[in-house]
Structure 1
Amino acid sequence: MARTDAQRESAGRQEFIVDIGLSWLAMKSGYPVWLSAEDHDRFVPSSGPVDVQLRLVEDAGAEVGRTIVLQIGEDVRRLLASNLPDEVLRTVWLGATKRYFDPAQHDLTGREWLRRIEAAWTTGIRRSDARFLPSPPQPVTDANLRSAVLEQIGAVADALEQAAVRGSVPGLVPALEQVVDRACADVGFRLFLRSMKAYFVAIDEDRCDAFTALGERLGYPEFLVDDNLNVG
């Protein structure tokens, strides 16, 4: 499997990474909830929720390692290069963020929202490298990996879908499966993991081991798969 810019950047050095790329952004999207009133006034733009989310993207390079930041653009461009419907893109974002931020409430389709993320990502990267040009996206389309990811999603599909329906995101599991099948097995698996963590869906040790083994096949950082999974 071809290595992405983010994977090449991380080669030869160790980082404590619990997520990367678009799934990392989904994890961080609700951060203003945890700010004190003083920090909220200091750090959160007053121009609205869309700008709050995009500021996260632009400022990511100052907060986390380049491995995480480069993968944001890679993930977004993998999805934009696909023929996935807007509603699928919106649904997987809502599922991964536990519906904290809904682009549709701000007159943005799923694809338009990803384009806004891509633009903010480019702006942030070029603060430190004005001539930065991203490589063409390299989606993971290997049939065996796609099958393996779909197998793991299928194993917990009922529990995840029930949790998502309770959280007002019906159709999350079919949407995640479409991402895997029609866009990228890697992005689909990480958004699936982020959704499992968002809804705290319980799994046993054997299922966690299966997730971890698949993460190793995809070259994930050591802690990405099991950090905050509900394993009992």
Structure 2
Amino acid sequence: MTDRTGKGPGALSDYLEDIFVEDIGLSWVTSKWNVPDELSPEDAERCLPEGGPSAWWLTLPASAVENFDRSRAVRLGQDIRRLVESPLPDGTIRTVWLGATHGTFDPEAYGFGARAWLRELGDAWLTRVRQDDPVFTPPPPQPVRDEQARQAVLGVMRPVADDLDRAASNPGYGLAVHGLVPALRQVVTEACADLGYRLFLRAMKAYFVEVDTSSHDAFVALGQRFGYPEFLVDDNLNHRS
């Protein structure tokens, strides 16, 4: 039996859920950069938890657990480990984090190195998961490291690389982020092609870098290859049709 999506039982609810899935895992967390950024100082003092912006960011892993199905919630823990356990230098991880968040939240300003910050996010995630399942054991990170996937991601990055680097180096607000594209390439080649691609997309959206139809179609096709929710790639992408 199939429903109107052409898939099997339960697919309609999955399809409807996918409409509202703007991102997954760590790239979903970074997508929330504009929430505290849009608050006035008065609203920030009233709305942010005690501890300010860093404490607010640390509420997001619990939100991922509460708002997504189990497999997508688990992805956050895997993404964090993909970076923490990688050979990437802290500086590269910090650059990619800043690029994905439009330079609006620098963990170093709050006393965290890049890996230490990710570990804080990971601890917050695991604490929330274990409230529901006290014996939960995180699955292995399972980074995507096959050469075909790496080259596919690097290939779609190439035509827009200069535009993204210029936008990140000269933002209208937030910290200037230099060397973003080389850092993203390092994530793709040395940590995980899947996570590197999602963080690249997140940076493209953060800086509203325009893409033509050729790049747009390549982005979407690669998202399908990685099995992303249907609208993840297109959501807030600046596609010049």
- TM-score normalized by the length of structure 1: 0.89
Return the alpha-carbon distance in structure 2 between the equivalents of residues 210 and 176 of structure 1.
18
Task: Give the counterpart letter for 1:19 in structure 2.
Answer: D
Q: Which runs of 5+ in 2 are unaligned?
A: 1-9
Return the alpha-carbon distance in structure 2 between the equivalents of residues 142 and 212 of structure 1.
20
- The equivalent residue for 1:8 is none
Return the alpha-carbon distance in structure 2 between the equivalents of residues 126 and 28 of structure 1.
24
Return the alpha-carbon distance in structure 2 between the equivalents of residues 34 and 19 of structure 1.
20
Task: For residue 33 of structure 1, report the CA deviation from its aligned partner.
Answer: 4.0
- The equivalent residue for 2:76 is 72
Q: Please point out which of 108, 124, 128 is paired with 2:132.
A: 128
Q: Please point out which of 220, 223, 232 is paired with 1:215.
A: 223
- The answer (yes or no) to whether the contact 1:200–1:229 under 8 Å persists in 2 is yes
Task: Give the counterpart letter for 1:131 in structure 2.
Answer: V
Task: Give the counterpart letter for 1:218 in structure 2.
Answer: F
Cα deviation, 1:159-186, whole Å, max 9, x if unaligned, reads: 0000010030010000000000000000
Between 67-76 and 182-191, report the one with greater CA deviation. 67-76
Q: Please point out which of 92, 97, 101 is paired with 1:97.
A: 101
SS of 2:22 mapped into structure 1: coil
- The answer (yes or no) to whether the contact 1:60–1:124 under 8 Å persists in 2 is no
- The answer (yes or no) to whether the contact 1:20–1:67 under 8 Å persists in 2 is no
Task: For residue 64 of structure 1, report the CA deviation from its aligned partner.
Answer: 3.9
1:16-95 correspondence to structure 2 within 5 Å: 16=18, 17-34=21-38, 44-95=48-99
1:122-201 correspondence to structure 2 within 5 Å: 122-167=126-171, 168-201=176-209
Q: Which runs of 5+ in 1 are unaligned?
A: 1-10
Between 41-50 and 136-145, report the one with greater CA deviation. 41-50
- The answer on 1:204 being equivalent to 2:208 is no
For the aligned residues, what is the CA RMSD?
Answer: 2.0
Q: How many residues align?
A: 222
Task: Give the counterpart letter for 2:84 in structure 1.
Answer: L
Q: For the structure 1 residues 127 and 230, does the alpha-carbon distance in structure 2 shift closer, same or farther, using more than 3 Å as the test?
A: same
Return the alpha-carbon distance in structure 1 between the equivalents of residues 28 and 228 of structure 2.
13
Return the alpha-carbon distance in structure 2 between the equivalents of residues 132 and 31 of structure 1.
31
Task: Give the counterpart letter for 1:92 in structure 2.
Answer: V
